[in-house]
Amino acid sequence: MSHRPPIVVGITGASGAPYAVRLLQTLTAAHRRVSLVVSKYGLRLLATETGIDSIDALRDTVGIDAWASYVETFSNDDRGAPAASGSARTSGMVVCPCSMGTLSAIAVGASRSLIERAADVTLKERRKLVLVPRETPLSAIHLGNMLRLVRAGAVVMPAAPAFYHRPREISDLIDFVVARILDQLDVEHSLVARWKGQPER
């Protein structure tokens, strides 16, 4: 068991559930502790996009042993959980995927749920907060909320995979986004090759 403070992971109801599953797999493979919060709509999205219809099914997909060693789950209704207090140390937080409703609530400090409160705490304690929205097109309201969050110290990282690494499968596109999230959280990985520049022709 890692002695480093846990990384808080929130899963909400924006499209992009495969990113969340892969993120949990890579965090546990890297022996990083996770405080996991899945919203009601996040769980529904997992079922729709991945066939994972319960927390137990998510545990089985991530790996039972890895889950038992590194993942602790909390209800999104539990605003008394450790992540809701600044006195509980964490190694940052990522909301992946992050719905625009959740992003908006974080931008105004609504703190109506554990995910929103934990994000608020992450910002006020000046810890790394990574938000991974998946929405298109973006309205002026979306962009304004994103700007407000970036100015408050968050990293807004839309789930936008690149193609310069010549992806062959959907998993390659998923790994590209997850690798960028891990970089922001300072978690070592080997999901994708590092760019070393393109030789001149």
Rounded to an integer, what distance in angstroms lies between the CA atom of residue 45 and that of residue 14? Answer: 7
The pLDDT, as a whole number, for residue 191 is 87
pLDDT given for residue 164 in this prediction:
86
How much of the chain, in percent, has pLDDT values that exceed 90?
90
43 within domain boundaries:
yes
* Closest listed residue to residue 119, CA positions, set 155, 144, 147: 155
Q: Is residue 197 part of a domain?
A: no
User: Is residue 194 in some structural domain?
Assistant: no
The answer to whether residue 192 is domain-embedded is: no
Average pLDDT, the chain: 95
Q: Of 21-30, 160-169, 173-182, where does mean pLDDT reach its minimum?
A: 160-169
Is there a domain that residue 143 lies in?
yes
Residue 197: which pLDDT band, with cuts at 50, 70 and 90?
confident
pLDDT, one tens digit per residue, over 123-142 is 999 999 999 999 999 999 99
**What pLDDT, on a 0 to 100 scale, did the predictor assign at position 194?**
79
104-124 confidence digits (pLDDT tens): 999 999 999 999 999 999 999
DSSP 68-83: HHHEEEE-TT-TTSGG
Per the structure, the count of domains in the chain is 1
Confidence at residue 179, expressed as pLDDT on a 0 to 100 scale: 95
The type of residue at 52 is I
Q: What whole-number distance in Å separates Cα of residue 46 and Cα of residue 14?
A: 10
pLDDT tens digits for range 142-165: 999 999 999 999 999 999 999 988
CATH of the domain at 154: 3.40.50.1950
Q: Where are the beta strands (DSSP E) in 91-193?
A: 93-98, 129-133, 155-156
Residue 201, domain member (yes or no): no
Tell me, what's the pLDDT at 112?
95
Is the pLDDT at 5 greater than 90? The verdict is: yes
Give the pLDDT of residue 1: 53
Region 15-33 average pLDDT: 97
Domain membership flag for residue 198: no
The 10s digit of each residue's pLDDT in 66-119 is: 999 999 999 999 999 999 999 999 999 999 999 999 999 999 999 999 999 999
Domain around 25: 7-184
Residue 57 lies in a domain: yes
Quote the CA–CA distance of 167 and 170 in Å, as a whole number: 8
Rg of the chain (C-alpha set) = 16
